[in-house]
Amino acid sequence: MSWLSSVRKGIQSLTKRQSADNLWHKCKKCGSMVFTKEWEDNQYVCPRCDHHDRVGPAVRFDALFDRKKYEVLPSPEVREDPLKFRDTKRYTDRIKAARSATDERDALINAIGKIEGHQAVVGVQDFAFMGGSMGVAVGAAFVAGVDKAIAKNCPYILFTAAGGARMQEGILSLMQMPRTTVALAKLRECRLPYIVVLTDPTTGGVTASYAMLGDVQIAEPGALIGFAGQRVIEQTIREKLPEGFQRAEYLLEHGMIDMVVHRHALKDRIGRLIGYLAPERDKKKAA
């Protein structure tokens, strides 16, 4: 291959990697065009309007754990498609497609590591996996995360993002609501903190169960948090809802959550909360 051909091939390869599709990111809120690298380096927060985009477990873990060092916990094995459900597609095909797109076993992934020097188990729901919907696998992963926290004598921290229960599993998905609540009762018996970070969106049965049972309720700015959708509520009560209804700032103002924290400050805030809520745990480990 001649020198000129080699250079031409290199330029074509560079052009493919840095096309308009991946070089720029268009903010969903303000419409600004931002360099993708700038957006990623800013933890997927728009530097123009501060819109917090949705992110998955890997991004959360890297941003939260000290020196990006953590161990991803294995996802529990559960029976898949217990109802043999099919709509326009088979449920098993939807699961396969979600796994291929996210490279995750299901919508809730747990990891263990240190946050500002404090050991913690962290669970992250990924909205990209079938809308973060709560099924048997999510319930099993939540219980496994709580059990690991109890075994390690450390807090359990959960980042929620879900459209609610997983319709393809019917009543079995709804059974995860009491199941996760019982697991949290065990965590509290051990006097271990449970901190929830509500991210966009957190709705449906997830909001009606473990998402609102934290010892401390944190939300990211602008996160949609609620049970039923705004349109459904308006049609039911036949009234126009206030502006910003079900957004994090509105819920903070009305006492439903404890604080709204920018993504850049989450690690520091969670680390301080662990220090306040479980200081004796760290002293015992040091001894």
Binding-site positions read 27, 30, 46, 49
260 alpha-carbon distance from chain centroid: 15
Binding-site positions for Zn(2+) read 27, 30, 46, 49
105 alpha-carbon distance from chain centroid: 15
Task: Single out the residue of 260, 273, 123, 81 nearest to residue 193, CA to CA.
Answer: 273
**DSSP-assigned beta bridge partners for residue 159:** 124, 197
DSSP 227-239: SS-HHHHHHHHTS
d(CA 201, CA 253): 18
Interior angle at CA 25, CA 24 and CA 27, nearest 5:
145
d(CA 109, CA 73): 7
